[in-house]
Structure 1
Amino acid sequence: MKVAVLGLGSRGDTQPSAALALELAGRGHEAVLAAPARYAALAGPGVRFVPLSVDPATVLDGEEGRAWLGSGPLGFVRGLRTVVEPLAARLVAEVDAACAGADLVLAPALGAFGRHLSERHGMPYRILQFQPGEPTGEFPNPLVPLATLGRLGNRASYALVERAGLLVLARLVNRLRAEVLGLGPLRGSPFAADRRERVPVLCGVSPLVVPRPRDWPGYVHLTGYWRLPGTGGTAEMEDFLAAGPPPVFVGFGSMPCPERAAEEVVAGLRLAGLRGVVQGLPVAAGDDLLPVGEVPHDLVFPRMAVVVHHGGAGTTGTALTAGVPSVVCPFFSDQPFWGRRVAALGAGPPPLPIRRLDRRELADRLLAAPRHRERAARLGGKLAVENGVRTAADLIERH
Structure 2
Amino acid sequence: MTADNEDVTRINFDADWKCYCQRNMNDEIMVTTAENTGTHHDWSLINLPHVVDTKNLCKWWYCKQFERTSVDKQLHLVFESNNHHNDSFDINTVIQLNNIEIFSGSLMSSMNPIELPSKLLHNENSLTICCFNSTLSLHVDLIQHNKFICAVGEVNVTTGQQKDNEVLDYTVGVDDTGGRLDLTFKSKKKYKVPMRPLPSTLECPRRDTPTDEDLLIPRLAIVILIVGTRGDVQPFIALGQALRAKGHRVRLATHETFRSFVRGNNLEFYPLGGDPVDLISFMVKNSGIIPSMDSIMAGDVSKKRRSLSEILASTWQACIANDDETNMPFTAEAIIANPPSFGHIHCAEKLQIPLHIMFTMPWTSTAAFPHPLSNIDNSTGSSKIINRYSYDVIDTLTWTGMRDIINNFRKKILGLSILNTSQAVYALDDERVPHTYCWSPSLVEKPNDWGEHIDVSGFFFLDLGTAYTNPPQDLLDFLHSDEQKPIYIGFGSIAGHDSRRILKVVVDALLQTGYRAVLSGLATEMDQLPPNIFKIGNVPHDWLFQHVSAVCHHGGAGTTAAGLRAGKPTIVVPFFGDQFFWGTVIAKSGAGPQPVPGKSITTEQLIQAFHFVHQSTTCVAAEHLRDAILKEDGCAAAVRAFHANLPLTRMHSDLEPTFSACYRSDKYHLQISRPVAQVLVSANVLQEDQLRPHATRKWHFKHDNHQHIIMHGFFEHSQKAISKMSINTA
Instruction: Give the structure-1-normalised TM-score.
Output: 0.92
Q: 1:240 aligns with which of 478, 499, 510?
A: 478
C-alpha distance in 2, partners of 1:146/1:298? 35
Aligned partner of 2:372 in structure 1 is: 142
Structure 1 residues 235-257: Cα deviation after superposition (integer angstroms, max 9, x where no partner): 14323212233111111223333
Greater strand fraction, Structure 1 or Structure 2: 2
Within 5 Å, which residues of 2 pair with 1:372-387?
372-387=618-633
Is residue 89 of structure 1 aligned with residue 309 of structure 2? yes
C-alpha distance in 1, partners of 2:492/2:620? 26
Aligned partner of 1:392 in structure 2 is: 638
AA at the equivalent of 1:133: W
Q: Select between 89-98 and 218-227 the one with higher mean Cα deviation.
A: 89-98
Is residue 230 of structure 1 aligned with residue 464 of structure 2? yes
Instruction: Flag the 1:6–1:74 CA change in 2: closer, same or farther, 3 A.
Output: closer
Gaps of 5+ in 2: 1-219, 321-330, 647-730
AA at the equivalent of 1:98: A
Structure 1 residues 170-225: Cα deviation after superposition (integer angstroms, max 9, x where no partner): 01111222333333212334341221121110111111111111111111111111
Gaps of 5+ in 1: none
Q: Select between 280-289 and 206-215 the one with higher mean Cα deviation.
A: 280-289
Aligned partner of 1:70 in structure 2 is: 285
| Partners of 2:437 and 2:456 within 8 A in 1 | yes
- Give 1:148 shift: 8.9
Q: Select between 107-116 and 46-55 the one with higher mean Cα deviation.
A: 46-55
Aligned partner of 1:366 in structure 2 is: 610
Aligned partner of 1:277 in structure 2 is: 518
Aligned partner of 2:384 in structure 1 is: 151
Instruction: Flag the 1:73–1:16 CA change in 2: closer, same or farther, 3 A.
Output: closer
Q: 1:309 aligns with which of 533, 548, 553?
A: 553
- Give 1:279 shift: 1.3
C-alpha distance in 2, partners of 1:322/1:147? 32
C-alpha distance in 2, partners of 1:176/1:215? 33
- Give 1:26 shift: 1.3
C-alpha distance in 2, partners of 1:190/1:385? 38
- Give 1:91 shift: 2.5
Instruction: Flag the 1:302–1:147 CA change in 2: closer, same or farther, 3 A.
Output: farther
C-alpha distance in 2, partners of 1:122/1:396? 17
C-alpha distance in 1, partners of 2:239/2:446? 21
- Give 1:44 shift: 5.7
Q: 2:426 aligns with which of 170, 181, 192?
A: 192
Within 5 Å, which residues of 2 pair with 1:266-345?
266-282=507-523, 283-345=527-589
| Partners of 1:18 and 1:43 within 8 A in 2 | no
C-alpha distance in 1, partners of 2:362/2:540? 25
Within 5 Å, which residues of 2 pair with 1:182-221?
182-187=415-420, 188-221=422-455
Structure 1 residues 293-316: Cα deviation after superposition (integer angstroms, max 9, x where no partner): 333222222321111111122222
C-alpha distance in 2, partners of 1:46/1:27? 14
Instruction: Flag the 1:274–1:109 CA change in 2: closer, same or farther, 3 A.
Output: same
C-alpha distance in 1, partners of 2:274/2:502? 29
| Partners of 1:112 and 1:191 within 8 A in 2 | no
C-alpha distance in 2, partners of 1:285/1:239? 17
Aligned partner of 1:172 in structure 2 is: 405
C-alpha distance in 2, partners of 1:347/1:196? 38
SS at match of 1:221: strand
Is residue 355 of structure 1 aligned with residue 599 of structure 2? yes
| Partners of 2:335 and 2:353 within 8 A in 1 | yes
C-alpha distance in 1, partners of 2:471/2:226? 27
C-alpha distance in 2, partners of 1:329/1:294? 20
Q: Select between 251-260 and 265-274 the one with higher mean Cα deviation.
A: 251-260
AA at the equivalent of 1:257: H
C-alpha distance in 1, partners of 2:315/2:283? 24
Instruction: Flag the 1:217–1:148 CA change in 2: closer, same or farther, 3 A.
Output: farther
Aligned partner of 1:252 in structure 2 is: 491
Within 5 Å, which residues of 2 pair with 1:27-176?
27-39=246-258, 40-43=260-263, 45-57=265-277, 59-60=278-279, 66=281, 69-72=284-287, 75-76=290-291, 81-100=301-320, 101-146=331-376, 150-176=383-409
- Give 1:368 shift: 1.8
| Partners of 2:491 and 2:521 within 8 A in 1 | yes
C-alpha distance in 2, partners of 1:45/1:341? 31
| Partners of 1:145 and 1:337 within 8 A in 2 | no
Structure 1 residues 256-286: Cα deviation after superposition (integer angstroms, max 9, x where no partner): 3323110110111121211111111025345
SS at match of 1:180: helix
AA at the equivalent of 2:516: R
Q: Select between 87-96 and 75-84 the one with higher mean Cα deviation.
A: 75-84
C-alpha distance in 2, partners of 1:166/1:319? 34
Q: Select between 365-374 and 276-285 the one with higher mean Cα deviation.
A: 276-285
| Partners of 1:69 and 1:76 within 8 A in 2 | no
AA at the equivalent of 2:501: R
Aligned partner of 2:112 in structure 1 is: none
How many residues are matched?
Answer: 394
Structure 1 residues 306-357: Cα deviation after superposition (integer angstroms, max 9, x where no partner): 1111112222222211111011111121221111101100101122122332
Greater helix fraction, Structure 1 or Structure 2: 1
AA at the equivalent of 1:383: I
- Give 1:82 shift: 2.5
SS at match of 1:207: coil
How much identity, in percent, do the aligned residues show? 30
AA at the equivalent of 1:297: H
AA at the equivalent of 2:316: D
Instruction: Flag the 1:69–1:164 CA change in 2: closer, same or farther, 3 A.
Output: same
Q: Select between 361-370 and 91-100 the one with higher mean Cα deviation.
A: 91-100
